[in-house]
Amino acid sequence: MLIYRSDLSFYIEVILVNIPDKVRNLFEKQDLVAFGTADKQGIPNVVPIFWKKILDKESVILIDNFMDMTKNNVLENKNVCVSFWDAETNEAYKMKGKAVYHTEGPVYDEGKEFIQSKDPKKDPKGMVEIKINEIYSLNPGSKAGEKINS
């Protein structure tokens, strides 16, 4: 289904997908996720991110405490990817989506409240909201790389 959602001052057209429970559970369980971005020319960048949160059925937040190139990339190219895995079970996924960077408003406030509930001293610079539109299994085997959302 094509869904239009408004942000503070602009619209993004994106086909959102529900994050399945198994994907959500692994995202929440792993300490770190790999966050891939690219600049407007497509030059890639990947960083580990610890502070992360499921925002709703179709979106996650990655919390910006130290992002530099990552933030610049998000601001000039909204296409991003988050990958996470359990090295013991080999369960692994990647979620692709469109990123929106927030420095204020409800999404920023929700991320700030989350991080400060764990560490009150944290004063995050911003929130990267990712609206998910593709999810793939990365489990090794014959189905590696298979898209799991329709």
Ligand X SMILES: Cc1cc2nc3c(=O)[nH]c(=O)nc-3n(C[C@H](O)[C@H](O)[C@H](O)COP(=O)(O)O)c2cc1C
- For residues 61, 67, 69, 72, the Cα torsion angle rounded to the nearest 10 degrees is 60
Does position 32 interact with ligand X (CB under 6 A)? The reply is yes
* One-letter identity of residue 132: I
Per-residue tokens: 101: 């960077």
- 8, 22, 40, 50: which one contacts ligand X (CB under 6 A)? 50
Span interacting with ligand X, options 15-23, 48-56, 92-100, 101-109, rule CB under 6 A: 48-56
CA distance 1 to 143: 25
- 16, 23, 49, 74: which one contacts ligand X (CB under 6 A)? 49
CA distance 35 to 97: 11
Does position 69 interact with ligand X (CB under 6 A)? The reply is yes
Does position 59 interact with ligand X (CB under 6 A)? The reply is no
- For the bound state, the minimum distance from the C-beta of residue 69 to ligand X, rounded and expressed in Å, comes to 3
- For the bound state, the minimum distance from the C-beta of residue 97 to ligand X, rounded and expressed in Å, comes to 18
What is the residue whose two structure tokens read 């991080």? 115
